[in-house]
Amino acid sequence: MEIVIVWTMVELLVALILIVALGFVSAVFFEAHRRRHNNAHVEAPAICEDPKSRKQVTCPSIYDPAEKYLSLIIPAFNEELRLPLALEETMNYLQQRAAKDKSFSYEVVIVDDGSVDGTKRVAYEFVKKYTVDNVRVILLGRNHGKGEAIRKGMLHSRGELLLMLDADGATKVDDVEKLEKKIHAVASEEFKFGDSPASNSDFRISDIPIAAFGSRAHLEEKALASRKWYRNFLMKGFHLVVLLAAGPGIRDTQCGFKMFTRAAARKLFTNIRLKRWCFDVELVFLGNRFRIPMREISVNWSEIPGSKVNLLSIPNMLWELVLMSVGYRSGMWRISS
């Protein structure tokens, strides 16, 4: 009798596990299918406002010819306190560089991701101070996620080179030159067996798909020594999952300091579907699919209080990685060239 009861319990447990597993797989495929057209993102139209008249104006498109040399895209969600200092530092650097080099042109695109504090007010103060030609604000209306905010900024920027950077100023803005130099070096390598940039009057850096990723990997040894063991375990596990999901090439996918040529941004950000936690990983995956040269460059980074990422973010990251893997590998998420 006891043996029968034990076998019955085992059978019930196995049945329960199978039901849970089937439910999880069904949920993954349902959600991946639901997001198959997420790269259109029609529910979050980009809105640009004239800060004086407050009337909506047309946003530029990534398909238009470049009008600036460098675009800096800053996603901002409830960044009223951290944004001013980071923006002042950024604008000081850009103005000093423009004063030294008359051919250098730039724009800063602040994407307000549905903030409910004074982020929009702070952003418009910088528009008024530095003119709308140099600083623009894109409003998303409600919160969609950092990935969507960056995507919108990229698709409505005017630069030959497009840099995404965080609103907290964790990475020093002058490190942009490290990424910029690397992109130019890779571009020269790409032309090694063809027309050289110097001999091609139509050559523009924006025409060659290249990406440069700022990296904190050089700080990892120090971080491993200072963090709790379980945080190191979770981080190592996450890195392994990222490697399996996105492929090799980039060790630090989560650093918020990345640069793309206009051609690379056009390919990547018209296909990206993840809006929040792991859009960075999806960029690496797509970069590998398109065979876009991706280079990792060490940058100066410091931790700024107020981070919105914590250990509770890990389940969300893993969920998005599963969705990405299933979506692309099943063919539900089609890649447009």
DSSP codes, 193-228: TS--GGG-TT--GGGS--EEEEE-GGGHHHHHHHS-
Determine, yes or no, domain membership for 189.
yes
Determine, yes or no, domain membership for 244.
yes
Q: What pLDDT shows up at residue 19?
A: 85
Report the alpha-carbon angle 189-213-141, nearest 5. Answer: 130
For the chain, how big is the Rg over CA atoms in Å?
A: 22
Determine, yes or no, domain membership for 228.
yes
Q: What pLDDT shows up at residue 226?
A: 45
Pair 210, 189: CB distance under 8 Å:
no
Pair 79, 107: CB distance under 8 Å:
no
Closest CA to 83 of 104, 60, 111, 105: 111
The type of residue at 290 is: F
Pair 88, 74: CB distance under 8 Å:
no
Question: Tokens for 2?
Answer: 């006891």
* Number of domains, the chain: 1
Pair 272, 282: CB distance under 8 Å:
yes
Ranges of residues in the chain with a pLDDT under 50 are 193-199, 222-227, 229
Domain around 312 = 47-329
Q: What pLDDT shows up at residue 208?
A: 93
- The span from the CA of 287 to the CA of 264, in Å, is 8
- The span from the CA of 6 to the CA of 248, in Å, is 47
Determine, yes or no, domain membership for 37.
no
Q: What pLDDT shows up at residue 200?
A: 52
Closest CA to 139 of 31, 225, 219, 45: 45
- Given phi > 0 = left and psi -120 to 50 = alpha, else beta, which region is 169? left
Determine, yes or no, domain membership for 242.
yes
- The span from the CA of 221 to the CA of 52, in Å, is 50
pTM of the model: 0.84
Determine, yes or no, domain membership for 231.
yes
Determine, yes or no, domain membership for 86.
yes
Q: How many C-beta neighbours within 10 Å does residue 140 have? A: 23
Pair 86, 123: CB distance under 8 Å:
no
Instruction: Please report, for the domain that includes residue 289, its CATH number.
Output: 3.90.550.10
Q: What pLDDT shows up at residue 196?
A: 42
Determine, yes or no, domain membership for 199.
yes
